[in-house]
Amino acid sequence: MIFLFYLLSAIMIVCALLVVFSRNPINNVIYLILCFIAMAGHYILLNAQFLAVVHIIVYTGAIMVLFLFVIMLLNLNKAIIFRKSTVTRVSAVVTGGIFFLVLLAATRQTFEIHAKYPFNSDIGLVSGIGKALFGEFLLPFEISSILFISAMVGAMMFGKKDE
Amino acid sequence: MSALIFIAIFGIIVLYLGFANNKAILAPAAIGGLLITMALSIKDWGVGSKYFHDMIVVDNFSIAFNVSMLIITILIFLFGVNYYKRMEHHVAEQYALMIFALTGAFLMTSYSNLIMLFLGIEILSIPLYILAGGKKSSYRSNEASFKYFLLGSFSTAFFLFGIALVYGASSTFYLPEINTYIAQFNGHLPPMLMVGLLFILIGVSFKVAVAPFHFWSPDVYEGAPTLVTAFMATVVKTAGFAAFYRLLGMGLLPLPAALEKTLWVMTGLSLLVGNLAALKQSNFKRLLAYSAIVHTGFMLLAMLSQHDSAGSVLLYYTFVYSLATIPLFIIFIHMKRSAKGLEDLVIFRGLYKQKPWVAVFMTILLMSLAGLPPTSGFMAKYQVFTLAISQGYIAITIFAIVMAIIGVYYYFYVLREAFTDSDEPNPILIPFLNAALIVVCGIAVVLLGLFTFTIPI
Amino acid sequence: MELTTLLFKTIFLFIILLVTLVVAMYSTYAERKVAAFMQDRNGPNRAGPFGLLQPLADGLKMFMKEEIIPLTANKYLFILGPSIAMTTALLTGVVIPWGDTLTIGDHVYSLQMADLNIGILYVFAMVSIGVYGIMIGGWASNNKYALLGAIRAASQMISYELAMGMSIIALVLTTGSLSLHDIVAQQHGMHWNIFYQPLGFFIFLTCAFAETNRAPFDLPECETELIGGYHTEYSSMKLGFYLFAEYVNMFISSAVIATLYFGGYNMPFIDQLGLSSNAVTFIGMGFFFIKIFAFIFLFMWIRWTLPRFRYDQLMNMGWKGLIPLAIFNILATGAYYFFTSLK
Q: What is the Cβ-side half-sphere exposure of residue B241, based on CA atoms within 13 angstroms?
A: 36
Which amino acid does the sequence have at B325? T
Q: What is the mean pLDDT of residues C233-259?
A: 86
The band of A77, judged by pLDDT with boundaries at 50, 70 and 90, is low
Q: What is the mean pLDDT of residues B416-432?
A: 83
Say whether C110 sits in a helix, a strand or coil. Answer: strand
Q: pLDDT tens digits for B327-358?
A: 999 999 988 888 888 888 888 888 888 888 88
Q: Which chains touch C (3 or more CB pairs under 8 A)?
A: A
Say whether B339 sits in a helix, a strand or coil. Answer: coil
**β pairing state of B56-58 and B49-51:** antiparallel
Q: What is the Cβ-side half-sphere exposure of residue C13, based on CA atoms within 13 angstroms?
A: 12
* Angle CA C76–C78–C79, to nearest 5: 70
- pLDDT over threshold 60, residue C28: yes
What confidence score (pLDDT) does residue C242 get? 84
Q: Which chain A residues are within 8 Å of B107, Cβ to Cβ?
A: 143
Measured between alpha carbons, how far is B294 from B287 in angstroms, rounded to an integer?
11
Please state, for a pLDDT cut of 90, what percent of chain B lies above it: 50
Closest partner CB to A65 (pick from C116, C122, C158)? C158
A3 min Cα distance to partner chain C (Å): 18
Given its phi and psi angles, is residue C74 left (phi above 0), alpha (psi -120 to 50 degrees) or beta? beta
Which C-chain residues 204-243 have CB contacts (< 8 A) with chain A? none
The answer to whether the Cα torsion of C334, C337, C341, C343 is positive or negative is positive
Q: Is the CB of residue B418 less than 8 Å from the CB of residue B348?
A: yes
Minimal-distance CA residue of chain A relative to B98: A150
| A115 touches B at CB < 8 Å | no
Please state, for a pLDDT cut of 90, what percent of chain A lies above it: 26
- pLDDT over threshold 80, residue B141: yes
What confidence score (pLDDT) does residue B440 get? 92
Q: pLDDT tens digits for B289-328?
A: 999 999 999 999 998 888 888 889 999 999 999 999 999 9
| B136 touches A at CB < 8 Å | yes
Which A-chain residues 83-142 have CB contacts (< 8 A) with chain C? 125-126
The answer to whether the Cα torsion of C156, C158, C162, C168 is positive or negative is positive
**CB-based contact A147 B126, cutoff 8 Å:** yes
What confidence score (pLDDT) does residue C132 get? 86
How confident is the prediction for chain C on average, in pLDDT? 84
What confidence score (pLDDT) does residue B47 get? 83
Q: What Å distances lie between residue B91 and B20, B30, B105, B222, B229, CA to CA?
A: 11, 12, 21, 21, 17
* Separation of first and last alpha carbons in chain C: 46
| B119 touches A at CB < 8 Å | yes
**CB-based contact C151 A57, cutoff 8 Å:** no
Of the candidates B300, B196, B317, the one whose C-alpha atom is nearest the C-alpha of residue B258 is B196
| C78 touches A at CB < 8 Å | no
pTM assigned to the model: 0.90
Exposed, middle or buried by CB within 10 Å (0-12, 13-18, 19+), for C18? exposed
**CB-based contact A53 C122, cutoff 8 Å:** yes
What confidence score (pLDDT) does residue B160 get? 93
What confidence score (pLDDT) does residue A114 get? 64
Of A60-74, B222-236, C217-231, which has the strongest mean pLDDT? B222-236
What confidence score (pLDDT) does residue A130 get? 86
Say whether C263 sits in a helix, a strand or coil. Answer: coil
Which A-chain residues 121-150 have CB contacts (< 8 A) with chain B? 135-140, 143-144, 146-147, 149-150
Q: Is the CB of residue B139 less than 8 Å from the CB of residue B87?
A: no
Say whether B30 sits in a helix, a strand or coil. Answer: helix
- pLDDT over threshold 70, residue A113: no
Find the range with the poorest average confidence among A80-84, B318-322, B431-435, C69-73.
Answer: A80-84
H or E stretch at C192: none
Measured between alpha carbons, how far is C254 from C268 in angstroms, rounded to an integer?
20
Please state, for a pLDDT cut of 70, what percent of chain C lies above it: 97
**CB-based contact A66 C158, cutoff 8 Å:** yes
Q: What Å distances lie between residue B55 and B114, B163, C21, C145, CA to CA?
A: 9, 15, 54, 53
Say whether A58 sits in a helix, a strand or coil. Answer: helix
Q: Is the CB of residue B69 less than 8 Å from the CB of residue B78?
A: no
CATH code of the region A2-124: 1.20.120.1200
| A153 touches B at CB < 8 Å | yes
Which amino acid does the sequence have at A153? V
Closest partner CB to A140 (pick from B55, B136, B194)? B55
C-beta neighbour count of C15 within 10 angstroms: 12
- pLDDT over threshold 70, residue B129: yes
> Residue B427: which residues within 8 A CB-CB, separation 6 or more?
B338, B354
> Residue C152: which residues within 8 A CB-CB, separation 6 or more?
C219, C220, C226, C229, C311
Size of interface A-C (CB pairs under 8 A): 68
Domain ranges of chain C: 65-342
| C151 touches A at CB < 8 Å | yes
Residue C273 is given by DSSP the state: G
Measured between alpha carbons, how far is C285 from C301 in angstroms, rounded to an integer?
24
Minimal-distance CA residue of chain A relative to C165: A57
* Angle CA B433–B435–B436, to nearest 5: 65
Q: pLDDT tens digits for B35-81?
A: 999 999 999 888 888 888 888 889 888 999 999 999 999 999 999 88
What confidence score (pLDDT) does residue B298 get? 93
* Angle CA C125–C126–C130, to nearest 5: 120
The band of A80, judged by pLDDT with boundaries at 50, 70 and 90, is low
Q: Helix axis angle, A138-159 relative to B114-132, nearest 10°?
A: 10
Q: What Å distances lie between residue C322 and A159, B329, C160, C199, C317, CA to CA?
A: 22, 47, 8, 10, 6
- pLDDT over threshold 60, residue A79: no
What confidence score (pLDDT) does residue C224 get? 65
A155 min Cα distance to partner chain B (Å): 8
Say whether B162 sits in a helix, a strand or coil. Answer: helix
Residue B19 is given by DSSP the state: G
Minimal-distance CA residue of chain B relative to A113: B169
The band of C153, judged by pLDDT with boundaries at 50, 70 and 90, is confident
Q: Which chain A residues are within 8 Å of B56, Cβ to Cβ?
A: 139
Q: Is the CB of residue C186 less than 8 Å from the CB of residue C172?
A: no
The answer to whether the Cα torsion of B390, B256, B299, B452 is positive or negative is negative
* Separation of first and last alpha carbons in chain A: 60
Minimal-distance CA residue of chain C relative to A49: C118
- The residue among B178, B193, B195 with the most chain A CBs within 10 A of its CB, best to mutate, is B195
What confidence score (pLDDT) does residue B385 get? 92
Which amino acid does the sequence have at C284? G
Residue B111 phi/psi, 5-degree rounding, is -80, 155
The answer to whether the Cα torsion of C217, C223, C224, C225 is positive or negative is positive
How confident is the prediction for chain B on average, in pLDDT? 89
**CB-based contact A49 C161, cutoff 8 Å:** no
Domain ranges of chain B: 255-457
> Residue B184: which residues within 8 A CB-CB, separation 6 or more?
none
Q: pLDDT tens digits for C119-134?
A: 888 888 888 888 888 8
Residue C102 phi/psi, 5-degree rounding, is -115, 130
Q: Is the CB of residue B339 less than 8 Å from the CB of residue B331?
A: no
Cα B456 to the center of its chain, rounded Å: 22
Of the candidates B96, B116, B403, B376, the one whose C-alpha atom is nearest the C-alpha of residue B242 is B116
Measured between alpha carbons, how far is B433 from C91 in angstroms, rounded to an integer?
67
The band of B438, judged by pLDDT with boundaries at 50, 70 and 90, is very high
The band of A78, judged by pLDDT with boundaries at 50, 70 and 90, is low
Say whether B56 sits in a helix, a strand or coil. Answer: strand
Measured between alpha carbons, how far is B251 from B175 in angstroms, rounded to an integer?
6
**CB-based contact C129 A60, cutoff 8 Å:** yes
Cα B184 to the center of its chain, rounded Å: 35
* Separation of first and last alpha carbons in chain B: 18
Q: pLDDT tens digits for C282-332?
A: 888 888 888 898 998 898 888 888 888 888 888 888 888 889 999 999 999
What confidence score (pLDDT) does residue B319 get? 92
C-beta neighbour count of C17 within 10 angstroms: 13
Q: Read out DSSP for C76-132?
A: HHHHHHHHHHHHHHHHGGGGS--SSEEEETTEEEESSS---TTHHHHHHHHHHHHHH
Q: pLDDT tens digits for B362-372?
A: 999 999 999 88
What confidence score (pLDDT) does residue B49 get? 86
| C327 touches A at CB < 8 Å | no
Measured between alpha carbons, how far is B303 from B310 in angstroms, rounded to an integer?
6
| A57 touches C at CB < 8 Å | yes
> Residue B287: which residues within 8 A CB-CB, separation 6 or more?
B278, B281, B345, B410, B414
Please state, for a pLDDT cut of 90, what percent of chain C lies above it: 3
Residue C101 phi/psi, 5-degree rounding, is -85, 150
A27 min Cα distance to partner chain B (Å): 23
- pLDDT over threshold 70, residue B169: yes
Q: What is the mean pLDDT of residues B240-252?
A: 87
